[in-house]
Amino acid sequence: MKYKATGLSNWLHILVLIVLFAIQAVSLSASEAEETEEQVPTQQEEPVEPFELRNDRVIALQITEGEIKWMKTGKSEFLGILKSDSSGRALGGVLILASPNSAPNSPGAINYLSNELSENGWHTLSISVPEFNFSGPAPKHPDAKLDKAEKQSESDENKQVEGAKVDDKRSGMPDSKIWYKEQQTKNMEKLLQRVLVSEAELQALGGQYIIIAQGATAELLLELISSNVINPQGLITLDIQHPVDQRMSSIPAHLAKVTIPTLDVFNVPSSELAKKRKLKQKGNNYRQTYVPANGIHYKGSEHLLYKKIKGWLTINFSK
């Protein structure tokens, strides 16, 4: 019996050792697995490319090699299409700005003018315009709740904005005039950044510097020029407009402040807006001309538009 007891004790001892060994092995394996997981570098997601830049890259694939000009404003990159004068008698450079949501090589006026002017005495640079915001006022406080900080902010605004309608915080709707003024400032700032970089490119080529702008882009540019923020030597607007009535009504006054040679092109016969712009003018550098077309892109009327612009450029910038 002693022998059996001793044998049983030994077997139990061996079994305990086996169990302890197995537990230790499992523990070590788990620890090693954790270390391995810690050592595996986590893959960082690539930043999403802005829609504007993705769109520019698609457009760039359609452009003849050598005409593509990538430019930067800070960390942002945007597309330009540079066409050097092929006549051998360049008078200067023309910066071409399409209407919002239009490509720098849009069929119609933009692409046609870029090609024709570059063959007849002008370097042309068409650029993609930034994405502008023309949306209407949106509630700032949808839940209509005011905490102490908001009340203090409201009090500060009341002191700063004299004579203006103060935001109705409780209903959540801001004053539309203030809203659109702030929006206009942001849109102009985005446009200004690209214009400054682009005009530097053209001015490096020498000669005179002209801007052609279309639609709502022309309205934003006009305010920059009338405020002397940028100073081209000539301006051509193609159906200048703004999607907001409050901004549209200020166009004649801004246009009247511009002293450089200006050509105001419109495509709607008997346009009341065009009449208001002309009546506001008092200087001799302003000229208005009508080019019949179906829309601001002048498709089907490109050559007539070019002839009008070419004639005006010859009169004002041929020397």
pLDDT tens-digit map of 195-209 = 999 999 999 999 999
**Is the pLDDT at 53 greater than 90, yes or no?**
no
Give the count of domains, the chain: 2
Q: To the nearest whole percent, how much of the chain has pLDDT over 90?
A: 60
Q: Determine the pLDDT at residue 40.
A: 47
Tell me what pLDDT residue 92 has.
Answer: 96
Q: What is the mean pLDDT of residues 163-186?
A: 71
In a domain, 250, yes or no: yes
How high is the pLDDT of residue 174?
A: 75
Q: In this structure, are 222 and 300 located in the same domain? A: yes
For the stretch 256-289, pLDDT in tens is 999 999 999 999 998 999 999 999 998 889 999 9
Question: Quick check: 36 pLDDT over 50?
Answer: no
Domain annotation covers residue 95? yes
Residues 69 and 150 in one domain: no
pLDDT at 145: 43
Predicted pLDDT of residue 105: 93
pLDDT value of position 49: 63
Domain presence at residue 51: no
Does 299 map to a domain?
yes
Q: Residue 183 domain-assigned?
A: yes
Is the pLDDT at 310 greater than 80? The verdict is yes
Residue 305 is part of which domain span? 63-134+176-317
* Residue 146 pLDDT > 60: no
In a domain, 5, yes or no: no
- CB of 292 closer than 8 Å to CB of 301: yes
Instruction: Assess whether pLDDT exceeds 50 at residue 305.
Output: yes
Is there a domain that residue 4 lies in?
no
- The CATH number given to whatever domain includes residue 230 is 3.40.50.1820
pLDDT at 42: 52
Q: Does 161 have pLDDT greater than 70?
A: no
pLDDT, position 160: 47
Question: Mean of the pLDDT values across residues 21-41?
Answer: 49
Residue 19 included in any domain: no
